[in-house]
Structure 1
């Protein structure tokens, strides 16, 4: 066997193998001819959309059944479609639910300023009109700072052209604190400094406009004439107020009702009364002062649409504590006591507390009244918080020694926040 012929046949076999391999590779990676496009069968389905947002369809062909897979063509230059302009829904179609990301059409706004001077005349800090495409909005957050602003200034909130403010509060009072309270912070409100700044996330709904002003309290006369305020106000157009998990009507308005008085022992007092309106009780803030702690025995009572009910079996119980706040001060998103002096230094027991009713919903259709009593009696059966005054008169005053002490005169300064419509 001639070795030269063997080498010759090896070269031929190798070349044939290479040729076959190239043919196979070309068949796999070849580009289909544009003169004979692959035919695709489109199955058209009618789509029903339940909202006003147009559906977006791509140009990709629908899949076909039992179609032999083809090699994909080279990708063409990608063209990103321009999204349609966002538009608002007609007023009748707008959702009444609280707007969340991806739901409805909303428009946030924020106004901030520093070192704005003010005095004893009203200074406008915020004046905001709703855009034409909206029929509702909420102020969702505000922060105010200044050395004397929070203690001596008065904030007024005018909604939808009001001539009398819906809310008229000192900044400190609006978050439930006094000048002796310690810093605290919860989701709804807080104070992160030594009485020089406060914030609130309580929603203030409006339908056309909102105006917020500031001025020095009329009771302040010995301070310098002009002061400075730093502030931020934020809100969202298209947003609806809510209490807990319940969305309120667009016409809901936030009202703050105030009470201030010295109350005699065992006397009943109506802290606030609402007549001829529907609404929901949202928040209460109270500051109390007395010479002994027995005023805490007083029960909270409600009259909802003419029906009486017991709200709490004692004052500290109302703030979700017990036994005269034996654990001291506390704060949470439901209730808090920011100041409590149980030992009554110089004969002064002092209490500052707040209570939200976001989860314990108290709705009313026509009327709501809240009543407190300065102290309580046990009836002849040994029970308290009863409404039988004849039996109550025969009982024993709680906290008394042989019936001779009992509660003393008590100062109550309360602020009660309700949404009404």
Structure 2
């Protein structure tokens, strides 16, 4: 069972500034089993924040199971790290294609994974990639990474502050019983909880609640 949650943490407010785009597109490049930097960007003078807006990749079959990492603002451990197919929510490496939404998708029978979730940063962002340990030698990769400085981001009707952070939370390799309570995310305010109700092999239904541990009162999200 795989459960991944993206959590925004908001701190301050944002202000209007000049929009500046950045990014890269690499064609027929090589990816290795050792972690390799694909792209890095530092904010321009006068900019206070930026957002990664687009990630797309394709290539040899091993690219589908490669690992990519986003290092935010010089951090030593990446806030966001994912296997390619999980980037588009294909939790069991389902390669049926093409399909897509405005946020995620797979645009080709082979490869073509993309994600348009915005990843905010306040100083810099660094993107790396590496092949799975089972790969034989280096492999060919095509990849596009794009973003914009000072681009406001709205979520569910309200604008996120310029200091918002996107953090990836993972649960991997764990099996739960039907109706079991699963701690998906535990924030600084100790809100957590999700109820997974698996009805059969083809459908999963879940309910999510937040629980302030110090009060033990349930808040429906």
Q: TM-score range by the shorter chain?
A: 0.7 to 0.9
2:38 to 101, 112, 125: 125
TM (norm. structure 2) is 0.79
TM (norm. structure 1) is 0.43
CA deviation string 1:383-420 (max 9, x = no partner): xxxxxxxxxxxxxxxxxxxxxxxxxxxxxxxxxxxxxx
Q: Which residue of 1 aligns with 2:109?
A: 194
Quick one: structure 1 residues 294 and 196, their matched pair in 2 at CA, closer, same or farther if it must change by over 3 Å? closer
Q: Which residue of 2 aligns with 1:4?
A: none
1:16-165 equivalence runs, <5 A: 96=14, 104-165=17-78
Query: Rg bigger for which structure?
Result: 1
Contact 1:179 1:195 in 2 (8 A): no
Quick one: structure 1 residues 304 and 236, their matched pair in 2 at CA, closer, same or farther if it must change by over 3 Å? farther
C-alpha separation between the residues in 2 aligned to 1:187 and 1:298? 23
Runs of 4+ in 1 over 6 A off after TM superposition: none
**Count of residue correspondences:** 201
Task: Point out which structure has higher relative CO (alpha carbons under 8 A, 6+ apart).
Answer: 2
- Equivalent position SS for 1:263: coil
- What's the CA shift for 1:176? 0.5
Contact 1:114 1:229 in 2 (8 A): yes
C-alpha separation between the residues in 1 aligned to 2:110 and 2:207? 30
- Equivalent position SS for 1:274: coil
Given the alignment of the two structures, is residue 272 of structure 1 paired with residue 184 of structure 2, yes or no? yes
Quick one: structure 1 residues 278 and 114, their matched pair in 2 at CA, closer, same or farther if it must change by over 3 Å? farther
Contact 2:66 2:84 in 1 (8 A): yes
- What's the CA shift for 1:240? 2.8
C-alpha separation between the residues in 2 aligned to 1:297 and 1:112? 37
Contact 1:149 1:229 in 2 (8 A): no
Quick one: structure 1 residues 216 and 294, their matched pair in 2 at CA, closer, same or farther if it must change by over 3 Å? closer
Q: Which residue of 2 aligns with 1:210?
A: 125
CA deviation string 1:327-366 (max 9, x = no partner): xxxxxxxxxxxxxxxxxxxxxxxxxxxxxxxxxxx5xxxx
**Alignment gaps of 5+ in structure 1:** 1-94, 280-285, 311-361, 363-421
2:209 to 292, 302, 310: 302
Given the alignment of the two structures, is residue 260 of structure 1 paired with residue 175 of structure 2, yes or no? no
- Provide the aligned C-alpha RMSD in A: 3.0
C-alpha separation between the residues in 2 aligned to 1:156 and 1:196? 18
C-alpha separation between the residues in 1 aligned to 2:116 and 2:184? 24
- Equivalent position SS for 1:272: coil
Q: Which residue of 1 aligns with 2:146?
A: 234
- What's the CA shift for 1:266? 4.0
Which structure shows the bigger proportion of residues in strand conformation? 2
Quick one: structure 1 residues 106 and 299, their matched pair in 2 at CA, closer, same or farther if it must change by over 3 Å? closer
C-alpha separation between the residues in 1 aligned to 2:83 and 2:179? 28
